[in-house]
Chains A and B, each alone.
Chain A
Amino acid sequence: MRLFSAATIKQAKKKSESPTWAANWQALQHRVEAWQSQGAQVPVEAGGWIHNYVCPDHWQPLTYDGNLPDKHMCPEGHVLVGEKYDAAWRVWRHRQLADLAREAGMAYQVLGSESGRENVCAAYAETAVSILNQYADFYTRLDGRADAESWMLTGHAFNQALTEALWAVPLIHAYDLVVDTLTTAQQERLKRDLWEPLTAVITRAQDNLIAQDKVESNYMAWLNVTLGCLGFALNDTALVDRAIEAPAGFKPHLEQAIWADGLEYEATPYYHNFVLLADLILAEAAKTNGIDLYSVTDSQGQSITSMGCAFAQLAWPDGSIVDLGDGSYWQDSIYDSEICQAYEILNSAAPEPLFAAALSAAYTRRGAARDNWAALLYGASVTSTPSTSSGNGPSTSFPSTGSGSTFLKESGIAILRSEKELAALVPFGPYRGSHHHFDRLSLTVWPFSKEAGCPLYGLEARRAWYPHSYAHNTLVVDGQSHAQCGGELLDWTGHSLYVTAPDAYPGVHFDRTTKLLNDTIWDELAVQSNKPRTFDWVFHLDGDVTFLGELEPLSGTLAADGPASFITLQAQKQIDKTVTLDIAFNENNYRLTLAGERPFTLLIGKAPGTSRYPQQPRLVLIGRTIGVHQRYRTTIEQR
């Protein structure tokens, strides 16, 4: 083996025999044996685009069932059919099988050493080898590019090279775990029919990104880890150099993709963790081969550890991570699983209470045991961690995160947290490309006014609604989302933020001051224009809301088309000075008071739910002023 050290396997064996971890290893064993008993085959067609696995009517991800390649269940109860869904299903299937091959390899290495279990042990290895051989049988005949969209960096077994990398890494892991059972001829055959063609696909993708001057792309991290694992597994130092060194390997990618505050340049927590996971897998493989990527610190202090810290600091008080920008922010997405994998590895390599807290919170959200591959191989033993498959995570043993304030200057993210169940988030960083939302200077309030999130990318609303300014608690001018721009910091004191967005709307000055004092959010949004305009102060709400005072009924949508057409109006109220409403959310009560420097109209409507709960429409408040200036002052307190 070249990807996993003897010490890692030894530690895993020891864990498998401990009461704390035995059940988790048994869970893996059951998954492998279930596959063995099925005798199922690997699908021989390429995978499509996983983001198509979504119900267009209910905006929810379809429920994957490995036994139903051509029938796809919406959680709302109806079935979807069609090649688009079948191809997306095959992505899940291929990735599931790759994961399974790795688990079979782990079972072979870790669970097969007991005397008298030689046959079982050999069967585990054969399972992994069988999957590898099946892929080798037809890999070169796949054509994932055939139905790829024009914008995609294409793969061979999938529409996207990125998907190919995500699938390949566990397969290479599996190969490395069972390579000692293969003859030279078998190794050569896999090399010829699988690894070399795969290498060609991934290197071509990497070269394409380099040619496009996109070294910083999150794709690059996964291309690098794939090339690195191939390089180490096949003892190909040129591939290892490609994965680590210039022009696009781990080191230059860290330099270009990660900002000084530790966050990936897109400033979306999902893609940050996505890159972190790839970097960690590569770092572990490198460590096994005497190369220490954990100690690599780039010119502005960027390192794997700083990446881990930046992400973990983006937690709300309940440990959930803020849903900024694009990402897999839907129910039961792979996001929390990826967090678990990343922080199992990271917390083992560089133990930190902050990392443990992020890990704990992710397990708690998933209701999952620590039976994933990263936990079983790398996971640090935590004595009080429940380790059965009952769904309990290790939360009791880890410290909590999400207290105090978080300020990521380069990324432009401030989180203010109170001692109570109240916190505020204001993103003000620069424009970050295609995964950016038009949410600059928005005020997100936890727990009852959280981020809109992002559904699967195959959904039309992903572009039509979620990224737009109306979907966020920010300012909308003349019914338009703000420009592709960032905000700028004017002041930050640790409990007070003063930001502006000079380029949001031409001819409009727009700034926001948000403070958290005495467990109360004090927010002031000031806007001034060079000519009369319509200013909409937008605020989304979950929970039960009670307005103090009479409302005038209203109907219709806010606009006939565009993002405003997603908002259905219900009522309005003219506000001379102040409006107050009470919010009940999760057994807590809050009061929101909104005041204007000059009179305004409060529009009340319903907007699509967050991407996590798209079928739960949210109340939306729109404080509309027509004029040249306004100053909206809001206080939010827990009562």
Chain B
Amino acid sequence: MTNLLFLRAHSLEEWRELSQTSHTEQMARLLTQAKSYDCYLPAAEHPRDSITYIGMAVANMALAYLLTEDESYLNTMRNWIKVGIGYPSWGLARKPDHDLDAAWLLFGLGLAYAWVGDVMPEDERIALRDKLILQSIRMYDYALATEDRYWGSAYWQNHNWICYGGLAVASAALLKEHTNAQGWLDRAVENFKIVLSVFPEDGSDYEGVVYWRYGFPWLLIPAHLFQEECGVDLHDSDFLRRSFHHRLHLGGPNLVDTANFGDCHDRRSAHSRMILYRLASLYNIGEAQWLANHFEEIGEWEREGKEGMVKPGLLPEAWLDFVWFDPSVAPKPVEALAKTAVFPDMGLLTTRSSWQDDATYLAFKCGTPNGARGWQLGHAIDRKNNWDTIKASHEHPDENSFILMRGADYLSVDPGYSKDKLTRNHSTILVDGRGQYNEGGYNAYDGLDQAWGGRLQNWFTAPGLTYVHGEAAGAYHSDLKLSQYRRQMVLVGDDLVLICDDLQSTTSHEYQWLLQTDTAAEQTSINQFTYQNPGTQMVVTAVAPNPLNHDYREIEITANPTSAKPEWIIRHTQHSLVLSPVDMCQQTRFLVALDMADAGTEPAEVIELPCEGGTAVQITRDGVTRIAAFANGRSRLVIPELLSTDADWVVANPATGEFWAGGMTNLWLNGDLQAMATTPVAIARSTETCVIMSCRENWISLKETAVTLHCNNQPIPVRTDPILDLIRFPIPAGESQLTWAKD
């Protein structure tokens, strides 16, 4: 009797009909993929390489047969199964029978057993059944024996999901065949209940986009299985619901290139059609459906199928494409989505100037290993049980680092997959040559207590500007006595990034400011460095410290992405610009401007302005002058004759009166009081609009003559103060979008 695991949504006849109607493209890909296995067989002896692909191959052929009853698929599948079950162990180089290879084969061969076992010759069916039972026992026993370590309780790591996922599918296939199968399945259910309860609500995942693409399906697969086979619905999860947005916002301007934080094999192998289909279907996310179609149109799926570095890879996912595609979800372009997104748990902010291919894109990261929730819960679980659940080995010691892209140009880069996790390979800070956490090895976080970590402190976004602030002193060893590493970054328009770093310690250090790039810099003045990229000229101007030392480094990044294939080494070269104060010091400030312009055009002029209480710069491009200033601690910023404010930071265009500021209760520009707030707010004021972010209900005063004011599209009362020449009005907590009509 066919056991239609994953196919309960329709009868087999309906699936066959869908394959000829709404799912024809998916069906065509499935059959092409299934047919591709005709021409070769896995080696009779277990290769040194990974064998995970056998699982997906068998599943594709099994479903192809199920839908077509074409015996050629069945026959080829039987040959593949014979090879697979002929291996004494599943997996060779890494944890035979107890890790990913075994899990993928339990999954694929388990499905084949469920779907077509009853049409296999009896001896082959029994052989397959017995092998599945044997491997399930091995996997289950290992999970029990290692619950306190490795993947048994590594709830935040893909090995846990894949191994328990594979076991779950095999268990579901064997429910009527082995008395212990229900117990295996129950354990997997309980595991995934915990997994989805410990993930953050913002949908973020610290393992990086490539591992997300590899591991995340293994949350969707068991959730699908359990819903249909156990009546357990794990889909009501904000983490799952918001995962698409997390992943989308880690896409660069062309959506194909990625912000490759963490262990990413390359900058592109992060796309999976089946995930987009599934999330679109589960949560009616039109943008996910649109992205899947968009990638089809621009040839990304074809490219990923050929070049993708994650195995088994995109093409073998054909059967899940078929099952998870939901034609009822209307595609919705991403243009209407916010251009800035924040994922506090991971400490991630991404922003882009537009959703077009030529946009400027910034991704900033400052968080804790394993994500904030995972770091806290992991330690709590470990303390309670004396376990070792936190396996953040794909995370990098990269707090307060950033990735910057403009169009197709990567202007500030991440090393991606690295054998040795080193802070020096990221655009952040070294202290006495030392980086963050226990950098240097494969896992930089082993044995660290809960107090370690950075934090995304504050952010603000409004038309024309995005501001973000991270604090990362807690990511450095306490013997450095670093009390502050505050990084403030501002993306102004689409052509300027300002970085203000404040470092403070009770002992003297050499602080090194790092910028990682694909290309080498050319020094163009004493504090200026120019990078020529294919489409973008980036000029880096170090305003502070003054004077400073600089250095260049060329780094080779190497990694072995899978221990199942030890000889596979990926490598690339990266360039570092290193800036530092000329002397050791306890505290210092770096203020660096990154000006971006089309290749071959004039860069902006960046000069320091005299400023009390902080550091200020003036940026002039094409006759337009902007000023920006960052306060020293809680000092008042005063640029004589121009600006006076208690804001923590400010950007302004004195000619137009536009300004953006954070932590402000009052701001004077060109000698006039422009704005006042009862308690500090972030504010963006242009001639047409005003955006205010306030932690609490507040009163705002603005230099404006409007009498009809709308806050978030609702009219609000306005008073005037004739003495201060301001209008005054209340705003609620949160973001207020103000628009007005003048008399």
- Kindly state whether residue B313 has any CB partner on chain A within 8 Å: no
Closest to A261 in B: B634
State whether A492 touches B646 (Cβ < 8 A): yes
- Pick from A126-134, A201-209, A326-334, A482-490 the stretch touching chain B: A482-490
- Kindly state whether residue B220 has any CB partner on chain A within 8 Å: no
Asked whether A509 and B721 contact (CB < 8 A) given A260-B680, A299-B458, A488-B678, the answer is yes
- Kindly state whether residue A616 has any CB partner on chain B within 8 Å: no
The contact string, 1 if C-beta is below 8 Å from chain A, for chain B 677-706, is 111100000000000000100010100000
Given B677, B699, B723, which contacts A503 in the complex, CB threshold below 8 Å?
B699
State whether A490 touches B673 (Cβ < 8 A): yes
Interface band, chain A = 20 to 34
Given A291, A301, A488, A511, which contacts B699 in the complex, CB threshold below 8 Å?
A488
Given B471, B666, B680, which contacts A491 in the complex, CB threshold below 8 Å?
B666
Cβ of A315 to closest chain B Cβ, rounded Å: 18
- Kindly state whether residue B474 has any CB partner on chain A within 8 Å: yes
Closest to A290 in B: B383
- Kindly state whether residue A11 has any CB partner on chain B within 8 Å: no
State whether A491 touches B728 (Cβ < 8 A): no
- Kindly state whether residue B636 has any CB partner on chain A within 8 Å: yes
Taken together as a complex, chains A and B put the C-alpha atoms of A491 and B645 apart, in Å, by 8
State whether B634 touches A409 (Cβ < 8 A): yes
Residues of B within 8 A of A491 (CB): 636, 644, 666, 668
State whether B680 touches A292 (Cβ < 8 A): no
State whether B722 touches A509 (Cβ < 8 A): yes
Residues of A within 8 A of B676 (CB): 488-490, 500
Interface contacts (Cβ under 8 Å), in number, total 70
Cβ of A139 to closest chain B Cβ, rounded Å: 30
Residues of B within 8 A of A430 (CB): 678-679
Residues of A within 8 A of B389 (CB): none
- Kindly state whether residue A528 has any CB partner on chain B within 8 Å: yes
State whether B634 touches A502 (Cβ < 8 A): no
Residues of A within 8 A of B679 (CB): 410, 429-430
Given B384, B451, B636, B723, which contacts A528 in the complex, CB threshold below 8 Å?
B723
Asked whether A409 and B474 contact (CB < 8 A) given A430-B679, A488-B666, A493-B636, the answer is no
Taken together as a complex, chains A and B put the C-alpha atoms of A429 and B677 apart, in Å, by 11
Considering the complex, which residues of chain A in the window 427-466 have a beta carbon less than 8 Å from any beta carbon of chain B?
A: 429-430
Cβ of B290 to closest chain A Cβ, rounded Å: 34
State whether A489 touches B646 (Cβ < 8 A): yes
- Kindly state whether residue A53 has any CB partner on chain B within 8 Å: no
- Kindly state whether residue B665 has any CB partner on chain A within 8 Å: yes
Taken together as a complex, chains A and B put the C-alpha atoms of A502 and B673 apart, in Å, by 15
State whether A409 touches B646 (Cβ < 8 A): yes
Cβ of A44 to closest chain B Cβ, rounded Å: 40
Considering the complex, which residues of chain B in the window 634-690 have a beta carbon less than 8 Å from any beta carbon of chain A?
A: 634, 636, 644, 646, 663, 665-666, 668, 673, 676-680
Cβ of B483 to closest chain A Cβ, rounded Å: 10
State whether B636 touches A292 (Cβ < 8 A): no
- Kindly state whether residue B449 has any CB partner on chain A within 8 Å: yes
Asked whether A300 and B699 contact (CB < 8 A) given A410-B679, A430-B679, the answer is no
Residues of B within 8 A of A407 (CB): 634
Taken together as a complex, chains A and B put the C-alpha atoms of A503 and B701 apart, in Å, by 12
Residues of B within 8 A of A295 (CB): 451, 474
- Kindly state whether residue B12 has any CB partner on chain A within 8 Å: no
Residues of B within 8 A of A261 (CB): 634
- Kindly state whether residue B724 has any CB partner on chain A within 8 Å: yes
State whether A300 touches B723 (Cβ < 8 A): no
Asked whether A292 and B450 contact (CB < 8 A) given A299-B458, A409-B665, A488-B677, the answer is yes
Closest to B696 in A: A430
Residues of A within 8 A of B673 (CB): 490
- Kindly state whether residue A297 has any CB partner on chain B within 8 Å: yes
Considering the complex, which residues of chain A in the window 270-317 have a beta carbon less than 8 Å from any beta carbon of chain B?
A: 290-292, 295, 297, 299-301
- Kindly state whether residue B457 has any CB partner on chain A within 8 Å: yes
Cβ of A209 to closest chain B Cβ, rounded Å: 18
Closest to A498 in B: B666
The contact string, 1 if C-beta is below 8 Å from chain A, for chain B 703-719, is 00000000000000001
- Kindly state whether residue B434 has any CB partner on chain A within 8 Å: no
- Kindly state whether residue B455 has any CB partner on chain A within 8 Å: yes
- Kindly state whether residue A96 has any CB partner on chain B within 8 Å: no
Taken together as a complex, chains A and B put the C-alpha atoms of A494 and B638 apart, in Å, by 12
The contact string, 1 if C-beta is below 8 Å from chain A, for chain B 575-609, is 00000000000000000000000000000000000
State whether B455 touches A297 (Cβ < 8 A): yes
State whether A509 touches B699 (Cβ < 8 A): no
Taken together as a complex, chains A and B put the C-alpha atoms of A159 and B723 apart, in Å, by 50
Total contacting residues, chain B, CB less than 8 A: 33
Taken together as a complex, chains A and B put the C-alpha atoms of A614 and B197 apart, in Å, by 58
Taken together as a complex, chains A and B put the C-alpha atoms of A424 and B450 apart, in Å, by 43
State whether A292 touches B678 (Cβ < 8 A): no
Taken together as a complex, chains A and B put the C-alpha atoms of A212 and B666 apart, in Å, by 33
Given A290, A300, A490, which contacts B457 in the complex, CB threshold below 8 Å?
A300
State whether B450 touches A301 (Cβ < 8 A): no
The contact string, 1 if C-beta is below 8 Å from chain A, for chain B 493-516, is 000000000000000000000000
State whether A292 touches B449 (Cβ < 8 A): yes
Most buried by A among B458, B665, B679: B679
The contact string, 1 if C-beta is below 8 Å from chain B, for chain A 165-179, is 000000000000000
State whether A292 touches B451 (Cβ < 8 A): yes
Taken together as a complex, chains A and B put the C-alpha atoms of A490 and B721 apart, in Å, by 14
The contact string, 1 if C-beta is below 8 Å from chain B, for chain A 519-537, is 0000000001000000000
The contact string, 1 if C-beta is below 8 Å from chain B, for chain A 467-504, is 00000000000000000001011111110000010110
State whether B723 touches A486 (Cβ < 8 A): no
Asked whether A509 and B723 contact (CB < 8 A) given A297-B471, A488-B676, the answer is yes
State whether B449 touches A490 (Cβ < 8 A): no
Given B383, B384, B680, which contacts A410 in the complex, CB threshold below 8 Å?
B680
Taken together as a complex, chains A and B put the C-alpha atoms of A290 and B677 apart, in Å, by 42
Residues of A within 8 A of B634 (CB): 261, 407, 409
- Kindly state whether residue A593 has any CB partner on chain B within 8 Å: no
State whether A489 touches B451 (Cβ < 8 A): no
Residues of A within 8 A of B455 (CB): 297, 299
State whether B646 touches A300 (Cβ < 8 A): no
Asked whether A486 and B678 contact (CB < 8 A) given A407-B634, A492-B646, A502-B701, the answer is yes
Cβ of B670 to closest chain A Cβ, rounded Å: 15
Cβ of A112 to closest chain B Cβ, rounded Å: 32
- Kindly state whether residue A588 has any CB partner on chain B within 8 Å: no
Residues of B within 8 A of A555 (CB): none
Given B383, B451, B457, B666, which contacts A301 in the complex, CB threshold below 8 Å?
B457
Taken together as a complex, chains A and B put the C-alpha atoms of A528 and B676 apart, in Å, by 19
Taken together as a complex, chains A and B put the C-alpha atoms of A243 and B405 apart, in Å, by 44
Residues of B within 8 A of A486 (CB): 678
Most buried by B among A291, A297, A300, A502: A502
State whether A502 touches B721 (Cβ < 8 A): yes
Residues of A within 8 A of B457 (CB): 299-301
Residues of A within 8 A of B471 (CB): 297, 301
Taken together as a complex, chains A and B put the C-alpha atoms of A430 and B700 apart, in Å, by 13
Closest to B377 in A: A245
State whether B666 touches A237 (Cβ < 8 A): no
Cβ of A287 to closest chain B Cβ, rounded Å: 11
Cβ of B367 to closest chain A Cβ, rounded Å: 13
Given B383, B450, B644, B701, which contacts A488 in the complex, CB threshold below 8 Å?
B701
Considering the complex, which residues of chain A in the window 130-185 have a beta carbon less than 8 Å from any beta carbon of chain B?
A: none
Considering the complex, which residues of chain B in the window 382-429 have a beta carbon less than 8 Å from any beta carbon of chain A?
A: 383-384
Sample of 15 A–B contacts (CB below 8 Å) = A299-B457, A300-B695, A409-B665, A488-B665, A488-B666, A488-B676, A489-B665, A491-B636, A491-B666, A492-B646, A494-B636, A500-B724, A502-B719, A509-B722, A509-B723
A429-B679, A492-B636 known, 18 other contacts, Cβ within 8 Å: A237-B384, A299-B455, A299-B457, A301-B457, A407-B634, A409-B680, A489-B665, A489-B666, A490-B676, A490-B724, A491-B636, A491-B644, A500-B676, A502-B721, A509-B721, A509-B722, A511-B723, A528-B723
User: Sorted from nearest, which 9 A-B pairs have the closest CB atoms?
Assistant: A295-B451, A509-B723, A489-B665, A292-B451, A430-B678, A490-B666, A488-B676, A486-B678, A488-B678
